[in-house]
Homo-oligomer: A and B are copies of this chain.
C-alpha cells in the first residue's frame, strides 16, 4: 500500500459542490466555504463499488469500515482513534412506558472523547493534514473542542480551541492541546457515518423516524446525505426516515424557521439553554437542515430545559449516560408523539450525541 500513499491533489476522486449556489470546485487544498458563504458538500465521482458491502465483513468496527463512502483516496490511511461503531440500544422499558413499539437509542457517548463530534473531526483532520495543515482552530460549544484536541494530538499537529464562557468545566479540562475554524466540508462526511452505521445495524433497513438534537445540525445533514447516497447506490429502496430536529426552547432558530416556512434561519437573540451543544443561534447549515426536514417529511420541535433535563435523567436511569442533548432527543420524541407527528407503532431512533459525564462538574 505504501507505494500508493503519494496521492496528489489532482487524483482525489471527489469534488466540492456549494449546497446553495451549486458552484463546484476541485477537492484538495484547504477547503473552506463557498464564496457565496454557504457550505460545500462532497460529491463523489463514482458510487461505491458493488463489492463495498461484502468488504464490510473484513473490516474493523470503526466508521472507516465505510471508507468507500468517505473522502479517502486509495491507499490513504485516516487519522483515527477508533471512532464510530457505537451501540444502537433497544430500550423496551422506555418503549412500553411511552407507548412506542420499537424504540432505540443510538449511543454516541462511547466514541473517543465521549461524543459524536469524534466522527466529524476525524474526517476533517484526516483531510486537512493531507492538505498540509500545520495547525488547527475550532470555535466550540465544548465537545468539538475536546475531539479536536484529541485528533490534532493523534495527527501530531497543534490545535487551538475557542470556547465561550459558560462551557462546562469538565469539558474544558479535557482540552490539553491548542485547530482554523473547520468551516469545511469533511465534518459532514464524517457525520454521514451515523446514517451508514444505523442502516447496517438495522440490517440495511432504516427506521420510520429519526429524532436528532440539533445545534449546528451537521449530523442531521450528514445522515440525510448518507440516505440519499445509499438510495442512489441501490443499497436501500424503501422510503427514507422522516428526520426531526429537536432544539432547546431558549435557542430554537431551526424550529422558528421551519414553522415560518422560511428556507433559512434568522439569528436567535440571547440564546440560553443548559444543553451547550444546542446553543447555536444561527447554524451555518440552516438551509440544509430545513431542506432535510422538509424533503424527509419531518419537522422541528422545541423542548424546555426542564423537559430535556428530565429526559436525560430518564435515559440515565436505564443505564445510558445521556448528555442534556440526548435528553432533548428523547423529550422531543415524546413531544412529537403527543402531537401525533410520530405514531406509537413506528420504528423510532433517538440520538444521544455524547456522554453525560462531560457535563458534570
Instruction: Give the interface of A toward B (CB within 8 A).
Output: 57, 60-62, 80-82, 85-89, 93, 107, 109-114, 149-156, 170, 173-174, 176-177, 201, 316-321, 355, 357-358, 360
Contacts and interface: CB of A to CB of B under 8 A. Distances in A.
Contacts of A201: 60
A154 B87 contact: no
A81 B153 CA distance: 29
Given A87-B81, A360-B170, A153 B318 contact: yes
A114 B150 contact: no
A101 to B, nearest CB: 15
A89 B85 contact: no
B321 A113 contact: yes
A150 B86 CA distance: 17
B87 A82 contact: yes
Contacts of A61: 61, 85
Nearest to A61: B61
Across the A-B interface, give the 8 residue pairs with the lowest CB-CB distance, nearest first.
Answer: A82-B87, A154-B319, A61-B61, A57-B57, A153-B319, A150-B319, A61-B85, A110-B110
Contacts of A151: 319
Given A80-B87, A81-B89, A153-B316, 4 more contacts: A85-B85, A150-B321, A173-B357, A176-B317
Contacts of A113: 321
A102 to B, nearest CB: 15
15 contacts: A60-B201, A82-B86, A82-B89, A82-B107, A85-B85, A107-B112, A109-B112, A110-B111, A149-B319, A153-B317, A154-B318, A155-B319, A170-B360, A173-B360, A176-B316
A174 B321 contact: yes
Contacts of A177: 317
Contacts of A318: 153-154
A360 B171 CA distance: 11
A110 B150 CA distance: 14
Given A111-B110, A201-B60, A81 B154 contact: no
A149 B85 CA distance: 23
A111 B89 CA distance: 14
Nearest to A173: B360
Given A153-B318, A174-B357, A110 B107 contact: no
B112 A321 contact: yes
Contacts of A317: 153, 176-177
Contacts of A176: 316-317
A114 to B, nearest CB: 7
A111 B318 CA distance: 16
Contacts of A109: 112
A152 B319 CA distance: 7
B114 A357 contact: yes
Contacts of A316: 153, 176
B81 A156 contact: no
A64 to B, nearest CB: 11
A86 B319 CA distance: 19
